[in-house]
């Protein structure tokens, strides 16, 4: 199975939201990482054909998705960023409604809904009104509806936005279990959401693909570019103007600052044993490519 984007471009008047985006994906979980306005949601909307592209192509198994039409839409499961739900519906009724929209036969829908509610841990509250659900519970319902029909491509647009840490971990674990025989696109600006589950990470800035590699490969690329050093509070402000600052914390010896740079400032020691994707994000994306939320 292959999903291929070829020179995909989307312009909004003078704003370039996606610029000749080209990448090929097979089965696995792809963390699409970038700041707000980088083009993540635009990419999702072009894939679902909710937005018309300016130019370029999207191929699924060698065929342009615009020619596949309904056949391709049946291959997609989409979990949107915004929670568009009917609060008066129960979780069970909502999923049956979505199954009807997708054209899933009732007998098949019954089996799938029961299994999916169990998967996302909501079987015991299946008949409660959605209006009484927490934000995390609603996100789990949205994940379940995206999985109806057993799609080949799962699109998750900021699926953990606004959730507390416990719910973030729960949603992340559910997603981790879904990667077999699926292409999972997980768009986020929260590094921790994809650090432990992504097969590969796509770094996007200002509508362009900067990097596509495994988390480990990306971490290896910035070896020697992450450093820590003792600083005064006055020095923190000065360094922040010149470098991408990771974290400042109080240690026994004083304030310790973490930063990323091609050349570390004097007194900073390269970090060798605990570089992570947060550092990768800082190096390639932080402070650059911030946009207007497109």
| Per-residue confidence (pLDDT) for residue 83, from 0 to 100 | 67
Q: How far apart are CA 290 and CA 286, in angstroms?
A: 8
Q: What is the pLDDT of residue 56?
A: 97
Please give the Cα distance from 96 to 108 (Å, whole number).
11
d(CA 140, CA 171): 7
Q: What is the pLDDT of residue 291?
A: 36
pLDDT of residue 20: 96
One digit per residue, pLDDT tens: the chain, 294 residues?
999 999 999 999 889 999 999 999 999 999 999 888 899 989 999 999 989 999 999 999 999 999 999 999 999 999 987 667 889 999 999 999 999 999 999 999 999 999 999 988 899 999 999 999 988 899 899 999 999 999 999 999 888 877 788 888 888 888 888 777 899 999 887 888 888 899 999 999 999 999 999 999 999 999 999 999 999 888 888 898 889 998 888 877 788 999 999 999 999 999 988 899 999 999 998 744 333 334
Cα–Cα distance for residue pair 276/254, rounded to 1 Å: 23
**Whole-prediction pTM:** 0.88
Q: Is 261 helix (H, G, I), strand (E, B) or coil?
A: coil
For 3-219, give the CATH class: alpha beta
Q: In the chain, where are the structural domains located?
A: 3-219, 224-274
- Which residue do the tokens 């979505």 mark? 98
> What tokens does 120 get?
């996302």
- Whole-angstrom distance, CA of residue 14 vs CA of residue 131: 40
* pLDDT score of 164: 82
Strand ranges (E), the chain: 3-12, 15-25, 28-33, 55-60, 63-64, 76-79, 153-157, 183-188, 200-205, 208-213, 226-231, 244-251, 254-260, 269-270
């Amino acid at each position: 199975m292959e999903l291929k984007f070829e020179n995909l471009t989307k312009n909004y008047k003078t704003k370039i939201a996606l610029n000749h985006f080209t990448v090929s994906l097979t089965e696995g979980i792809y963390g699409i990482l970038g700041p707000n306005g980088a083009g993540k949601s635009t990419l999702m909307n072009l894939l679902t054909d909710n937005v018309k592209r300016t130019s370029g192509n999207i191929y699924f198994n060698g065929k342009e998705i615009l020619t596949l039409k309904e056949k391709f839409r049946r291959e997609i499961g989409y979990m949107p960023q915004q929670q568009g739900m009917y609060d008066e519906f129960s979780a069970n009724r909502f999923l049956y409604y979505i199954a009807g929209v997708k054209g899933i036969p009732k007998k098949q829908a019954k089996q799938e809904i029961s299994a999916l509610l169990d998967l996302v841990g909501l079987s015991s509250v299946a008949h409660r009104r959605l209006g009484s659900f927490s934000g995390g519970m609603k996100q789990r319902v949205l994940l379940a509806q995206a999985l109806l029909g057993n799609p080949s491509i799962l699109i998750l647009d900021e699926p953990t936005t606004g959730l507390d840490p416990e719910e973030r971990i729960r949603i992340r674990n559910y997603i981790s279990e879904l990667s077999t025989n699926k292409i999972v696109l997980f768009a986020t600006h929260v590094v921790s959401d994809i650090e432990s589950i992504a097969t590969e990470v796509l770094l996007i800035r200002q509508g362009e693909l900067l990097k596509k590699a495994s988390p480990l490969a990306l971490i290896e690329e910035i070896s020697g570019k992450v450093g820590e050093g003792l600083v005064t509070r006055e020095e923190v402000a000065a360094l922040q103007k010149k470098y991408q600052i990771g974290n400042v914390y109080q240690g026994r010896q004083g304030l310790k600052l973490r930063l990323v740079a091609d050349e570390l400032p004097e007194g900073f020691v390269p970090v060798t044993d605990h570089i992570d994707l947060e550092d990768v994000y800082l190096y390639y994306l932080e402070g650059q490519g911030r946009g207007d939320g497109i």
